[in-house]
Amino acid sequence: MAEVASTSASTEEDANERRRLQPVRIALYVVASILSFMTIAPLFYMVSMSLKETNEVFGANLVPHHPTFANFVYVFTQVDFIRYLLNTFFVSAVVTVVALVFHSMAGYALARLRFPGRDAIFLTMFATFLISQPVIIVPLFILARALHLLDSYAGLIVPSIFNAFGIFLLRQFYLAVPRELEEAALIDGAGYLRIWWSIILPLSRPILSALAILFFLANWNSFLWPLTIISNQDLWMVQVAIASFRQQYNGSWNYIMAASTVVALPTLVMFVIFQKRIIESIKTSGIK
């Protein structure tokens, strides 16, 4: 660095500036490190507790003295956890795939195709943007009961498919896709379904994969809806299962933390693998 600084006055100034800022930068590193450790410490503690024996559960040590998988074995043998995991995987996967197909079609039509009433349809969809499920849970439940959707996979899946957020993001994305690509295909006589399937869908792979992860996580983690409409234990989703497990094994925190770890681990692993994509897609979703 000293070599570079001696070459010209301006870079020397920069180097001085940098040297002056060095303590500040180190302080920022330290603060960022401490904050991020504090942020994930509760999650570490969860995993640590799940590996501890009953008598040292509340020890402040993050590393268990006698690590054991007994808590996990107990959880899987006492309740039908595998079934709940499979239920949750099935529901989340179906919702994600169907939602992406529907939203992509709708987003494409709203961005590109011209038909009367398009803007009115878009505005009406926009009106549902801020209505979250907890707000309409009572009428939604009554509707689901009238449609005989209670206690069924269909009840878990169908109402979870539709949300305006995905449509908006995709429409936004399609507005920026160059028109020339479709035009050529149109002149070649391709139908709109063909264009959507073989031009639009492949183009939107990055945004679709980001949305797929977000949708899957949201459904894997959803609690209120499955809690409300499912009473048949065979159809339990995993979040409902651990909430009930907690009531049943009140105070046996090592078991409860083992169950929690099993439920949280898939989402954490998914996040670590796809973190770049998830973070980019959220960073750019704000109003500009």
Partner 1 sequence: MQNRAAPAREGARAAAPSVDEGPRLSNRARERIAGYLFVAPDAIGLLIFVGGPMILSLSLGFFSVSGFGEYEFVGVANYRRMMADPLFWRSVEVTVLYVVALVPSLYVVGLGLALLVQSNSRFNTVVRSLLFMPQTVSLVVVGLVWQVLLVDKIGLFNQFGATFNLQSISWLGDPRFALFTVIGISVWFLMGFYMLIFLGGLQDIPREYYEAARIDGAGAVQSFFKITLPLLQPTSFFVLLVSTVAAVCGSQTFDLIYIMTKGGPANSTSLAIFYIYQQAFLFNEYGYAAAMASVLVVVLMAITVLLFALTRGGRFTYG
Of residues 132 through 151, those in contact with partner 1 by CB under 8 A are 132-143, 145-146
H helices of the chain, where?
2-7, 9-50, 70-78, 81-112, 118-127, 137-146, 153-161, 164-175, 180-187, 192-195, 201-203, 205-220, 224-229, 238-248, 253-283
Q: Are 34 and 40 in contact (CB under 8 A)?
A: no
Interaction of residue 267 with partner 1, rule CB under 8 A: yes
Dist CA 180 CA 110 (whole Å): 18
Query: Among residues 6, 224, 231, 273, which is the contact residue for partner 1, using CB under 8 A?
Result: 224
Find the binder of partner 1 among 4, 6, 8, 28 (CB under 8 A): 28
In the complex with partner 1, which residue's Cβ is closer, 11 or 221? 221
Binding mask 95-114 for partner 1 (x = CB under 8 A): -------xx-xx-xxx--xx
Query: Which among 199, 31, 2 has a CA at the least distance from the CA of 112?
Result: 199
225, 255, 229, 230: which is closest to 242 by C-alpha?
A: 255
Which of the stretches 2-10, 65-73, 75-83, 130-138 binds partner 1 when contact is defined by CB under 8 A? 130-138
Residue 254 · residue 53 · CB < 8 Å: yes
Site string for partner 1, 181-220 (x = CB under 8 A): --x--xx-x-xxx--x--------------------x--x
Please tell me whether residue 275 binds partner 1 under the rule CB under 8 A.
yes
Does the protein bind partner 1 through residue 223 (CB under 8 A)?
Answer: yes
Residue 120 within binding range of partner 1, rule CB under 8 A: no
Q: According to CB under 8 A, which residues from 247 to 266 bind partner 1?
A: 253, 256-257, 260, 263-264
Q: Which of 211, 239, 255, 258 binds partner 1 (CB under 8 A)?
A: 239
Q: Is 91 in the site for partner 1 (CB under 8 A)?
A: no
Query: For the window 33-72, what string marks contact with partner 1 as x by the rule CB under 8 A?
Result: x-xxx-xx-xx-xx--x--------x-x------------
CB of 14 to partner 1, least distance (A): 11
Please choose, from the candidates 86, 85, 38, the residue with its C-alpha nearest in 3D space to the C-alpha of residue 62.
38
Does residue 131 bind partner 1 (CB under 8 A)? yes
Q: Which of 79, 222, 230, 255 binds partner 1 (CB under 8 A)?
A: 222
Cβ contacts of 267 within 8 Å, gap of 6 or more? 217, 220, 221
Residues 6+ apart with CB under 8 A from 65: 52, 56, 59
Which of 11, 68, 209, 228: binder of partner 1 (CB under 8 A)? Answer: 228
Report which of 262, 272, 168, 152 is spatially closest to residue 211, judged by C-alpha positions. Answer: 168
SS3 132: coil
- For residue 252, what are its two tokens? 């046996």
Q: What does the chain come to in residues?
A: 288
In angstroms and rounded to an integer, the radius of gyration of the C-alpha atoms of the chain is: 26
Determine, following the binding rule CB under 8 A, whether residue 6 of this chain makes contact with partner 1.
no
Minimal distance, residue 177 CB to partner 1, in Å: 10
